[in-house]
Chains A and B, each alone.
Chain A
Amino acid sequence: MAVIEDREARGLAWPPLIQGLGVHLFTLVLYLVLASWATQFMLESPPVPLLWPATGIGLAMVYRFGYGIGFTLLVAGTISHVGFGAPLMHGIVLASGAAVGACVGAALLRRLEFSSRLERVRDIVTLLLVGAGVSAFISGLTGTLAMVGVSSAFGETMGLCWLADTMGVVLFAPVLLAARWPGRFSLATVRSALLVASAPMLTLLLYGGTLPSTLSLPLSYAVFPLVLFLAFRLPPAAVALATLSSAMVAVACTAIGKGPFAQAADLRPDLIALHVQLALLQLTALLLVAVRHERVEADRRARDHLRTLARIGRMNAVSTMAAGIAHEINQPLCAVNSYANAAMRLVQRGESADALKQPLQRIVDGSQRAAEIIRRTRHFLETGETESRPLQLEALVREAAGLLRPEYQRQRVQLVLELDPAPCVIRGDELELQQVLVNLLQNALEAEQRAGRSGAHRVSVTSSVDAEHGVVALTVRDGGTGIPEAALETLFDPMVTHRQGGNGLGLAIARSIVEAHGGRLTARNHENGGAEFRLTLPLLTFQEIKP
């Protein structure tokens, strides 16, 4: 029944080019490019970059593509350190520190059931703790020991190294972890790309030096609302890309002495202040996306539960109708059988072909009638995903009444439909709404049964369209003894049943379905006897029907 798909495995697909050896090559190039970019922001003393992407890239790539990437990190790290003037041994130690930090961090993430989709708050928190607390710590510690050893400068150097690595994790890891290759490109992809690009553009505007510093510092917060807006529109990877590119622009501008944070002669305090702002921006954005996703996911799950419950409710409904359905199929079968026998007798007697016309036509009619009953029942039990679409209320009511009519006939209860002739189109899930109607009609029939001979043997379904307020009301009234006062309050509560053999779910499910459709379901006792269930649903306007 349920199609189980491994979302995580499928999500890992990258463009074929980057698979296999390509992943190593990609990591190598990315590492070298970003490392050479980062070395532009070297401090004089100690010679530490203020932002070091290696740990972030390493953590993300090892987590996604396995520990083999660790080797590539080692090679890339050595190349870049030696390339910027470090001795070979020194470079190897620094590079291995970053590689080990990435591998240990990735191993931890795997054990902590971290999901790289970053759609849960706990994933963001886990990434921050593991990235800053483990990967950046190991990498920073190795770097500090290699550069200054245990000396008086250890504390300051360690702090700066750790900060640089942590910034690398916070800024670079999320986008590399969460990025998925889009299956196909569409207008939506272009729109998303433009939205993502808006963040670095705004940052460039603010940090480009065109604004006076008195204005640009307070305005540096203007990127927050933009990123928050993106967090409501885009998936985690896109939001992370937007903040990353915005951060890279900000850092680059500040380093060359432009923008709100470039005020002192020394780069260090400016960039640290900027780092704090950027880290907070990134975290805010990621947490917001995650919270949004959790909300959507919770809604989806609630909807799934309702759908499953609704399906169980339909099965229940059909099982109580089974005898009636069997009878209803047996009738046309009986007719078909008699006509076929009669036709055979006519043939044996050598009657003309003309004489066979009538019985044959009736056989066709009878088999169609039986097929229609089976179609109706099967349709009601369909399990496939149904969608919300415009529906004619009248057709819904007639279909539900058609399902119940045999049962009503068996119990000799009259089912009267008095439907408002005014056009009445609603939006909803056909099967679920039909189920609500079936449930109400079954309850009404049971009320008549309980009332026995004192019942009115008549259930009426009335609809009235209130075009002015845009609602339609449908009432189902039985001629039973009514609902006991005490039961009225708990009537719609789940697991509370007021009849024998009931599971107390029917009305609870019905109300949930109606409310999911933006309507209401209420019950009362009619002044002239019997219970009355009232269902209201919002009408679709003409424009909504024909967009």
Chain B
Amino acid sequence: MQETVYLVDDDPDVRDAVSFLLTTERYRVKAFDSPEALLDFITEQHIGCLLLDVRLPGMDGLELQRELQRRNIRLPVLFISGHGDIPLAVRAINAGALDFIEKPFADELLLEKVDNALELSRNQRHEHAERIDVERRLNRLTPREVEVMEGILLGKLNKVIAYELDVSVRTVEVHRAHLLEKLDARNSSDLVRMVLSTDKYRNWLL
């Protein structure tokens, strides 16, 4: 799957023009004339970013954004807004869009924002991959190791963990060493960051 800019605009001229500009800069572009066409096509596997007109036939940009979130499609969203649509664009940002750009726009600005969006997308993918990896490694821990790890997450000292689990401090130290090795963490704080980034433990401290 290649990194692509998914463009949705109902105006054929604007659609062709933006596609042409992006293609000239060697981006892969796939254009759609309606939100429905995009939704029919796109899946969680697609990578890249979304470039959406705020006003679209049948569904506005905000509704499309919500629908994409509902389908767990987390590509960065850039909105293109026309004259007088700024308030709508601001609401889109508040709802989680990356940025918006006003028509007619300077090419550098568009390209810069698309670049940023694609980079963000790559970072997100990287983090996602890392998270998946961490989760895979977490699954390899023994129940006892999990208990020790949760103690570490809560910031407990080794002796407190040892007392609570009714084992020796030495044993806790051995478990901690195994944990660092199994999760491929450099030290305890690295371990905490890594574990807290996973879906399972994201809200664990709260």
- Min CB gap A353→B, angstroms: 15
- Whether the Cβ atoms of B57 and A365 lie closer than 8 Å is no
Binary interface encoding of chain A residues 328-353 relative to chain B, with 1 for a CB under 8 A from any of its CBs, else 0:
00111111111101100110000000
CA of A323 to CA of B83, assembled, Å = 8
Determine if A331 and B82 form an interchain contact, defined as CB atoms under 8 angstroms apart. Answer: yes
User: Taking the nearest CB of chain B, how far is it from the CB of A456, in angstroms?
Assistant: 14
CA distance A362 to B11 in the complex (A): 14
What is the size category of the interface that chain B forms with chain A?
20 to 34
Quick check: is A292 within 8 A (CB to CB) of the other chain? no
Given the contacts A341-B107, A409-B57, A412-B58, A330 and B24 also touching, CB distance less than 8 Å: no
Tally chain A residues at the interface, Cβ within 8 Å: 26
Per-residue CB contact flags for chain B residues 81-96 toward chain A (1 = under 8 Å, else 0) read 0111000000000000
Residues of chain B contacted by A409 (CB below 8 angstroms): 10, 57
When the two chains form their complex, are residues A335 and B84 in contact, meaning their CB atoms are under 8 A apart?
no
A378 in the interface (beta carbon within 8 A) = no
Inter-chain contact B17/A362, CB cutoff 8 Å: yes
**Chain B residues whose C-beta falls within 8 Å of the C-beta of A334 in the assembled complex:** 14, 17, 82, 103-105
Which residue numbers of B lie inside 8 Å of A, CB to CB? 10-11, 13-14, 16-18, 20-21, 24-25, 55, 57-58, 82-84, 103-107, 110
CB distance from B194 to the nearest CB of A (A): 43
Shortest beta-carbon distance, B201 to chain A, in Å? 43
CA distance A135 to B17 in the complex (A): 85
CA distance A330 to B86 in the complex (A): 14
Considering only residues 294-351 of chain A, those with a C-beta below 8 Å from chain B are: 323, 326-327, 330-339, 341-342, 345-346
In the bound complex, do residue A337 and residue B104 qualify as a contact, i.e. CB atoms below 8 Å apart?
Answer: yes
Contact A365 B20 (CB under 8 A): no
By the criterion CB–CB under 8 Å, are A366 and B83 in contact? no
Cβ contacts A368-392/B at 8 Å (1 or 0 each): 0100000000000000000000000
* Interface secondary structure of B, over-half rule: loop
- Tell me whether A338 and B18 are in contact (CB under 8 A): yes
Q: A342-B107, A345-B107, A359-B20 known; 16 other A-B pairs, CB under 8 Å?
A: A326-B83, A327-B82, A330-B103, A331-B82, A332-B13, A334-B14, A334-B104, A334-B105, A335-B11, A336-B17, A336-B104, A337-B107, A338-B20, A338-B107, A342-B21, A362-B13
In angstroms, Cα B43 to Cα A196, docked, is 92
| The residue from A341, A358, A359, A366 contacting B13, defined by CB atoms under 8 A apart | A366
Contacts of B82 in A (CB 8 A): 327, 330-331, 334
| A526 CB-CB contact with B under 8 Å | no
Residues of B contacting A335 in the complex (Cβ-Cβ under 8 angstroms): 11, 13-14, 16-17
List the 8 closest A-B pairs by CB distance, nearest first: A341-B107, A335-B17, A338-B17, A334-B104, A335-B13, A337-B104, A342-B21, A334-B103
| Residue pair A323, B84 in contact (C-beta under 8 Å) | yes
Please tell me if the beta carbons of A331 and B21 are within 8 angstroms of each other in the complex: no
Q: Kindly state the separation between the CA atoms of A362 and B15 in the bound complex, as whole angstroms.
A: 12
Of the A-B pairs whose beta carbons lie under 8 Å apart in the complex, a sample of 9, sorted by A's number, is: A333-B103, A335-B13, A335-B14, A335-B17, A336-B17, A338-B110, A345-B107, A346-B24, A359-B20
Is the pair B84, A326 in contact by a Cβ cutoff of 8 Å? yes
Residues in chain A within 8 A of chain B (CB atoms): 323, 326-327, 330-339, 341-342, 345-346, 358-359, 362, 365-366, 369, 409-410, 412
Q: Which residues of A contact B16 (CB under 8 A)?
A: 335, 362
Cα(A180)–Cα(B83), bound, Å: 60
Distance (Å) between the CB of A229 and the closest chain B CB? Answer: 64
CB < 8 Å neighbour of A327 from B57, B83, B105, B106: B83
A200-B55 Cα distance, complex, nearest whole Å: 80
Q: Bound complex: CA of A336 vs CA of B82, how far in Å?
A: 15
Most interface-central of A333, A338, A342, A345 (chain B CB within 10 A): A338
- CB neighbours (8 Å) of B21 from chain A are 338-339, 341-342, 345
Report the Cα distance A242→B18, complex, angstroms. 79
Contact partners of B104 in chain A: CB under 8 A: 330, 333-334, 336-338
Query: Within 8 Å CB of B14, what residues of A?
Result: 331, 334-335, 338
Which chain B residues lie closer than 8 Å to A359 at the CB level? 20
A341 contacts across to B, CB distance below 8 A: 21, 106-107
Collect the chain B residues with CB atoms within 8 Å of residue A323's CB: 83-84
Q: How far is the CB of A297 from chain B (nearest CB, A)?
A: 47
Distance, CA A336 to CA B107, complexed state (A): 11
Chain B residues with Cβ under 8 A from A362's Cβ?
A: 13, 16-17, 20
Q: Indicate if the CB atoms of B58 and A342 lie closer than 8 Å.
A: no
Closest Cβ neighbor of A331 among chain B residues: B11
Report the Cα distance A333→B102, complex, angstroms: 12
Q: Which residue of A lies closest to B107 (CB)?
A: A341
Residues of B within 8 A of A336 (CB): 17, 104
**Assembly CA distance A430 to B21 (angstroms):** 42
Q: How far is the CB of A47 from chain B (nearest CB, A)?
A: 92
Q: Which residues from chain A contact B24 at a C-beta distance below 8 Å?
A: 342, 345-346
**Cα A326 to Cα B103 with chains together (Å):** 11
Q: Is the CB of B57 within 8 A of A412?
A: yes
When distances are taken between beta carbons in the complex, the residues of chain A under 8 Å from B107 are 337-338, 341-342, 345
CA distance A291 to B181 in the complex (A): 113
Q: Which residues of the partner chain B approach A345 to less than 8 Å between Cβ atoms?
A: 21, 24-25, 107
Q: How far is the CA of A362 from the CA of B55 in the complex (A)?
A: 23
- Docked Cα-Cα span, A346 to B21, in Å, equals 10
Smallest Cβ-Cβ distance to B12: which chain A residue: A335
Q: Which residue of B lies closest to A365 (CB)?
A: B13
Q: How far is the CA of A359 from the CA of B18 in the complex (A)?
A: 11
In the complex, what residue of chain B is closest to A359 when comparing beta carbons? B20
B20 contacts across to A, CB distance below 8 A: 338-339, 342, 358-359, 362
Bound complex: CA A330 to CA B104 (Å): 7
